Amino acid sequence: MCGIVGIAAKKEFSSSFLLERLKRLEYRGYDSYGYYDTKNLEKFVGEVVVTGDNHTKLGVAHTRWATHGGVTVENAHPHVSCDGRIIIVHNGIIENFAELKKELIIQGHRFSSQTDSEVIAHYFESKLKHKDIKQVMVEFFRQAQGTFAVLVMIKGDEKLYALKKDSPMVLGLCKGMNMLASDIYAFSDLTDKAVFFENNEFAIITESSWKFFDKNGKAINKSIKKIEWENEEKERAKKKDYKHFMLKEIEDEPGVVKRMLFSMDNEQKQVFNKVIKLIKSSKKIVFAACGTSYHASLLGAYYLHQVGVEAQTLIASEFKHYANIDKDTLVIAISQSGETMDVIDALKYAQEKKARIISIVNVLYSSIQRMSELSINILAGQERAVPSTKAFVNQATLLLRICQELGYKVNLSNLADKIKALLEQKEDIKKLAEQIAESKDAYIIGRGLTYPVAREIALKIKETAYIHAEGMMGGELKHGTIALIEEGTPVISLVNINDPDIISNTKEVEARGAGVIMITNNPALRKEKNTVYIHTDNDGKFGILAAIAGQLITYYAADYLGRPIDKPRNLAKSVTVK
C-alpha cells in the first residue's frame, strides 16, 4: 500500500522532481514520506510536500501506509544499514522479519525503527560483507517470507537494485532516465514504454540499461509494453474549481459511463464478446472482490440471477474459506487498482482449482489483469480521492451491460443523462446531508437490487465522514438492529418502485422516531419530506443512480464536518497488503 520511486538518470535531476514523482503515488499511502538522493536522507511525517533543490543522478523515495510501527519520522522510509552504506525502500510486509531481526541483532546490528522494512537494509549489509549483490538478492528471495517490492541503493554504486514478490513494481523507460515505481502513474506523463516485473524477479538498473533475473539469478528476457493512457489525463487530474477531488470525480461520472459503454461496442468489443461467451459456457460464476468493488459485484450477482445465471460473490480475503470452485467455474475478479492483495490471493487459489479467470479493472497492465485470461478496462480514469466513486459506477454499469447482453431488459443509452439529472439535485441533497453529519450513527436499508447499494453507501459514510454506518437488508431490521433506532436516528431508505416490503420497513423505523431520508424512483413518494427522487424505470439503473445519490450525501456530510475527504485517515487507495 506504500508508494515507491527510484530514478537513475543520465543528467542530474532535483529532489523536487523526485518528490513530484512520489506525489503522484500518494494515494498509495500518506502517513509519512522520505527520500535519499546520494547526499541527503530526508524523512517527514504527513503528506508529501514537493520541495528541495538538491541535485543528483540517482535517488529513491517512499510514501508510507503504516503496517509495522507507528507514524513517526523514525519509521518513515528510506531505511539505512548500520554502516550507512545500504539504503532501501520497501512496499509490502516481511512476515518473518522478527526471526531475521533476531539473527542480525546477535551479529551486532542496531535498529532504529519499529518497522519490518528496516530488516532489509541490515540483511543486505550483513550479506554484502562476503558475497556480491546478485548472490545476496538470490538469498533474500530464499529467506524472506511475505510480500515485497524493494529498491536498494549502495553508496558509491551508480545502480538501483529492485526485487519483486507479490507487490507491484514497474520500470518506466523515460527519456534520459529509467524510473522504477509502484505503478505506471509515477511516470505515465513522461513515457509510454514500460517493463513490468512478474513475481520472483529482480533487476539491476542504470540510467541507460536494465537487466532482469529470476529468483535463482538466471537472466531472463523482458518485453517492453506500450502504455495506453488517457490523453486528457493532465486535465482530468486537476481539481479545477472543486474543493475536493471526490466531488470532481462524482461529477465525472456521466462522461466516464458514456465512454465505457461506447468502448464495449467499439475498441473493447472483441474482448467483451469473449467474456459473454465464457459466461454462457460456465457452470457458475463466482466474483472475488473487496470493499467498494465487492458491493459492485453484489449488484452483478443480482443482475446475473435475473437472467438465470448461477452466481455468487465472495469477499476476497475469505475466498478460499467459502469458495467451491472447479474447472467449470468462472471466477471474475473486480479491482479498481488491479493490485489488491486479497484478490490476488483469491486468484491464486482459483488457479490451483483450475478455474478460469477474467477480471474487471481500472488500471492497465496491473497484476490482476496479467493473471486473467480476459480483462475488461472500466475506463473510469484515475481516481485521486481514496473513496471510490466513478470506478464503482463504471464497475456496476459494466456488469449491467454484460447482463443486458444475456437478456436483462434495460435501457443503458440514457444512463449518462440520468446521472446528469441527478447531479442537478446536489444542492437539495446537500441539505439532507447535514442530518447525517449531526449524528453518530446512521443506517441504510434496501432490498434486492438496493441491498448492495445500502452496503456501499454505509461504507462511504464510514470512510469519508467517520460516522458509524450500517447498510443492511430491510427485512433484517426486526432481527436485532431495530433496537438501536431511537428518536432522530438517521435511516436512509432505498425504495425501489413497486417494493411494498421496503416501504413497510421504512414505516417501522419512522414509528420509532427515525429521521428517514428516502432515495426512490417511486412517483407516489416524490413529494414526501426528505426525499431524493430519481426519475428512472425499474430496470436495474436505479441501483446505480441510488448509489450516486448516496455518494453526494456522503460527500456533503463529510464536508460539513470538515473531514479530509480525499485522504481519509488510516486508508490508502491501493491495498497491497493482506
Burial label for 241, CB within 10 Å (0-12, 13-18, 19+), is exposed
Are 75 and 119 a contacting pair, CB within 8 Å?
A: no
Residue 83 confidence (pLDDT): 94
CA distances 405 to 285, 292, 398, Å, are 16, 24, 11
CA distance 352 to 370: 16
Tell me the pLDDT of the chain averaged across its residues. Answer: 92
Mean pLDDT of the region 162-182: 94
**pLDDT band at residue 335 using 50, 70 and 90 as cut-offs:** very high
CA distance 489 to 487: 6
Looking at domain 231-413, its CATH superfamily turns out to be Glucose-6-phosphate isomerase like protein; domain 1 (3.40.50.10490)
- 424-572 has the same fold as 3-226: no
CA distance 371 to 338: 10
Tens of pLDDT, residues 217-275? 999 999 998 876 554 445 454 566 789 999 999 999 999 999 999 999 988 999 999 99
All 3 cell numbers of residue 371? Answer: 493473471
Mean pLDDT of the region 124-140: 96
CA distance 237 to 220: 36
How are strands ordered across the β-sheet holding 311-315?
311-315, 284-289, 329-335, 356-361, 374-377
Mean pLDDT of the region 113-117: 92
CATH number for the segment(s) 3-226: 3.60.20.10
Highest mean pLDDT among 164-173, 207-216, 533-542: 207-216
Beta bridge partners of 151: 89, 162
All 3 cell numbers of residue 132? Answer: 556480491
CA distance 47 to 264: 38
Torsion of CA 117, 119, 121, 124, to 10 degrees: -130
Residue 102 confidence (pLDDT): 95
Residue 190 confidence (pLDDT): 93
CA distance 384 to 573: 8
- Per DSSP, helices labelled H in 497-540 are 500-510
- For the question of whether the overall pTM of this predicted structure is more than 0.85, the answer is no
Are 496 and 520 a contacting pair, CB within 8 Å?
A: yes
Residue 498 confidence (pLDDT): 76
Mean pLDDT of the region 345-364: 95
Q: Which residue reads 473486480 in cell numbers?
A: 334
Residue 231 confidence (pLDDT): 46
Beta bridge partners of 423: none
Decide if pLDDT at 67 tops 60: yes
Decide if pLDDT at 65 tops 80: no
Decide if pLDDT at 97 tops 60: yes
CA distance 557 to 542: 22
Domain boundaries, the chain: 3-226, 231-413, 424-572
* Amino acid (1-letter code) at residue 46: G
Mean pLDDT of the region 282-299: 97
Decide if pLDDT at 406 tops 60: yes
Mean pLDDT of the region 127-133: 95
Cβ neighbors of 523 (< 8 A, separation 6 or more) are 497, 533
Beta bridge partners of 356: 330
CA distance 509 to 295: 24
Torsion angles phi and psi, residue 88, rounded to 5: -135, 155
Mean pLDDT of the region 152-170: 94
Annotated catalytic residues are 2, 573
**pLDDT band at residue 363 using 50, 70 and 90 as cut-offs:** confident
Decide if pLDDT at 298 tops 60: yes
CA distance 420 to 398: 18
Report the number of secondary-structure helices (H) and strands (E) in the chain.
18, 25
Mean pLDDT of the region 42-53: 89
The answer as to CATH 3.50.50.60 being correct for domain 424-572 is no
Question: Before 78, cis peptide (omega within 30)?
Answer: yes
Torsion angles phi and psi, residue 289, rounded to 5: -165, 170
Return the number of other C-beta atoms located less than 10 Å from residue 548's C-beta: 25
